[in-house]
Structure 1
Amino acid sequence: MPIGIRIEQINHWYNRNDPPVLRDISVTVEAGQSLALVGESGCGKSTLLNMIAGMIRPTSGSIHVGEDEVDKPRPEWNIMFQQAALYPWLTVVDNVALGLEFAGLGRVRREKAMDMLERVGLADRAGSHPRDLSGGQQQRVALARSLVMSPAIILLDEPFSALDTFTRTDLQDEVLSIVAERGISLVQVTHDLDEAIIMGDRIAVMERGPGRIHALVDNEMAHPRRPGMPGFAEMRDELLAAFGRARRNPVRSPRREQERPSVAVGL
């Protein structure tokens, strides 16, 4: 069953003698919804993503996936990074099946892995090794490895940033198709505003010093979203304006920051 993500009043310091990394972060991702996090480097996007994944505990505040508070990594929420991070000594199918093996599904793991490779168009490369694949194919394997565990949420930390335009578009479409089909909730970090519009049902523009949500924009455009379609340019302009304000980093109280209304843009 699809489940949502609830982030409540997150504050975080790596060192109490340093300024906070994140302050007063509160945002909700409804079940089956996608959230894109954008902002300049150093605003805490990846830190927040790693908190949702359970790899970092916030100094204060809480994150819930469904009814469960996130306190450690779990197989129900998977993260994809900029690098595919495949094991070079394993074949493609064994890379995909590794999590299933750890979960004790030895008898059916290969069948499930092959089904997922078929889904991402790489069944014919099952016996290959990662060194024999292109960058886009490696990310497809990483995607298959994440999805074969039937996660409730999937977290993307710029996994398409190094890919060419055509491969990136194909993978964006593939991810959106699979998460819609399975009701998976999605959170993505990206520096690409077009990608944020294509992937995100909500787009959080973050500012730094400390990292916090400057604007939360609701994206009501229908899928598939493409540059040039009605509303896309207006959405980009709205995000650029918010990004510019965030870079100037105006001083606001935490209470006023959380009261900033969201803006609905699109058709």
Structure 2
Amino acid sequence: MHSKADTRATLSLRLATWGGMLFLHLPFLFILLYAFSTEEKSYQFPPPGLTTKWFAVAFGRQDIWDAISLSLRVASVSTIISLTLGTLAAAALYKRRFFGKEAISLLIILPIALPGVITGISLRSAFHLLHIPFSTWTIVLGHATFCIVVVYNNAVARFRRVSGSQIEASMDLGADGFQTFRHVVLPNIATALLAGGMLAFALSFDEVIVTTFTAGQETTLPIWMLTELIRPRQRPVTNVVAIFIMAITFIPILLAYYWIRDGEDVEGGSK
């Protein structure tokens, strides 16, 4: 039988949980509300009126589509680079012991530990010294510096859980290095790479600070949204774009959830 103290504790925990959920998700409702506001240049509450015209306006603005396209291209390439280099670095370091290993690990992790403004200034200075013109590729290089870290952290943690006996057995049975990686190592680390790749894509897609220093005249979606908020022209359009992005990003998150869940019964699929 539960005591009154247990009942009060349970009620307090529920209230705290719902309070935390409201704190996290209530701003999304305001984004949705202001996407329909008739007021163009301010966030007046309650809105003076509601309209759906901003969805048509957002759909017809080419600068929005250009910004979304650039952000998707940058995030995709940065994620591919991060998955490749982060996985290779994790495979090279997770089990070997040598002098300077900790220093190398620190150097790999350092870009995400440093403030973004430091990384941005460093990259901008390096591009100037090397006479590299600012372009989409400089943005990609800037994003890859910290995206590699999240893939590396996920991969190295999963590599430590891979049984060395499985790899040895595969090699003893005549498999070469690629076959061993394809049929033994990859199934064990697949969910970690999926999680790391998704996080890398998300970090790249919404990065502002490093992009500001490495973009030149290029305008990614976060830079576009920041500019629109600083110099308001049609603020509800910014909210429409935010709703669109939330809807789009929900799809891969949902797919990843089902992939990871289905992979639980597969060799190496434990989470």
TM-score range, shorter chain: under 0.3
Q: Which protein is richer in strand relative to its size?
A: 1
Return the index of the structure with the highest Cα Rg. Answer: 2
Q: Which protein is richer in helix relative to its size?
A: 2
User: Taking structure 2 as the reference length, what is the TM-score of the superposition?
Assistant: 0.24
Higher normalized contact order (CA 8 Å, seq sep 6+, divided by chain length): 2
User: Taking structure 1 as the reference length, what is the TM-score of the superposition?
Assistant: 0.25
